[in-house]
Amino acid sequence: MTKNIYLLLLSLVLVSCGESSNTTPTGQTAEPQKVYKWRMVTTWPKNLPGLGTAPERMVDNIRTMSNGRLDIKVYGAGEIVPALEVFEAVSQGTVQMGHGASYYWKGKVPIAQFFTAVPFGLTAQEMNGWLLHGGGLELWRELYARYNLFPIPGGNTGVQMAGWFNKEINSLEDLRGLKMRIPGLGGEVFEAAGGTAVNLPGGEIFTSMQTGVIDATEWVGPYNDLAFGLHQVAKYYYYPGWQEAGPTLEVLVNKEAWDQLPDDLKAIVETASLAGNTDMLAEYTARNNMALQELVNEHQVELRRLPDDVLAELRSIAVEKTAAIVDDDELSKRIYDSWMQYRDDVIEYHEISERAYINARAN
Ligand code: CA
């Protein structure tokens, strides 16, 4: 009996010693070093250059910065859920995180498209300005809180290409009757111009073109399009990517999972995502031009610019379609107003900065 009491007292002393070893220099008792093992589903094929490798780099950084306390495993499209079910899977807590693009969810949340890209919208640099210093991210978080989600910008491809066609596009008439993979609002503009828009995840594009399920497709830009081999299934490669000038990719975190993280891990996730956001743009900027040379010089791809009158007609349809996303919900109106005001202001400023400089450099 005495021996048992002695052992009990000893164990209490040991427990309290154990606790005291967790005391921080400021004298506060630290949280136990809990390890979080999370899963991240993505809308991209596993390790696809740029879109797929960015989330892998992001979770590596999170693991290192957290000293292994937040360990996230990345899954490609279809490994746990299909590409276009990422939003639901994270919203419902099937997994803790996702990496995708908000315009994929336009059927469920139409106004979310403003947080990826709308046709003739913002460039990558302008998107980052609106989201991070122009009020956009606060609106995005307010919107996604309704779906039990916490979004963080997680990548940007820069200006995309208009896409791959097997015939020349000389007028709007040439788009009529074409079945094209083109997601988001760009797809609606394409439909209003007489085509049929299809929203296919990246991994299904090549086969769909090869088997004639679709006649034309846009994907990203030379770097990714070359990796998919799209030059093997289409002859003409058109620019500029009016439908996506600077699409932001999103990191999604399930709201309950997010709320359970201690503040230092929250800061690590947010910082790693934002680092991935700018790193992806740097990767595309460096790689796209190399890939374009290869497409044109080695694979004899016919590079074409969309005629000005075709772009002008698409633009006037886009203005109407963009305004039409706004519904009776007052938040959707606030998102639209914030975006439009910012767009008008930044266009004016970029006339005398970005555009003026690029023009000056060219001449
Ligand atoms: Ca695209």
Query: Taking Cα atoms as reference points, which of 319, 310, 321 lies closest to residue 174?
Result: 310
pTM: 0.87
- Average pLDDT over the chain reads 92
Q: Are 120 and 240 in contact (CB under 8 A)?
A: no
- The region that residue 55 occupies, defined by phi over 0 for left and psi between -120 and 50 for alpha, beta otherwise, is alpha
- Asked whether residue 19 carries a pLDDT value surpassing 50, the answer given is no
Tokens of 325: 């996303």
Looking at the domain that runs over 36-157+246-285, which CATH code has it been given? 3.40.190.170
Report the alpha-carbon distance of residue 86 to residue 263 in Å, rounded.
25
Neighbours of 327 (CB within 10 A): 12
Per-chain residues with Cβ under 5 A from ion ligand 1: 160, 218, 244
How far does residue 249's CA lie from ligand 1's centre (Å)?
11
What are the sequence ranges of the domains in the chain? 36-157+246-285
Tokens of 166: 């097997």
How far does residue 33's CA lie from ligand 1's centre (Å)?
42
What's the mean pLDDT in 197-212?
A: 93
Report the alpha-carbon distance of residue 87 to residue 264 in Å, rounded.
25
Tokens of 111: 């106004």
- Asked whether residue 245 carries a pLDDT value surpassing 90, the answer given is yes
State the pLDDT at residue 33.
87
State the pLDDT at residue 5.
53
Contacts of 143 (CB under 8 A, 6+ apart): 109, 111, 112, 115, 331, 335
How far does residue 280's CA lie from ligand 1's centre (Å)?
15
**Backbone phi, psi, residue 308, to 5°:** -55, -40
Percent of the chain whose predicted confidence (pLDDT) is above 70: 91
- Asked whether residue 27 carries a pLDDT value surpassing 60, the answer given is no
How far does residue 63's CA lie from ligand 1's centre (Å)?
30
Give pLDDT tens digits for 276-293: 999 999 999 999 999 999
SS3 for 5?
A: helix
Residues in the chain: 363
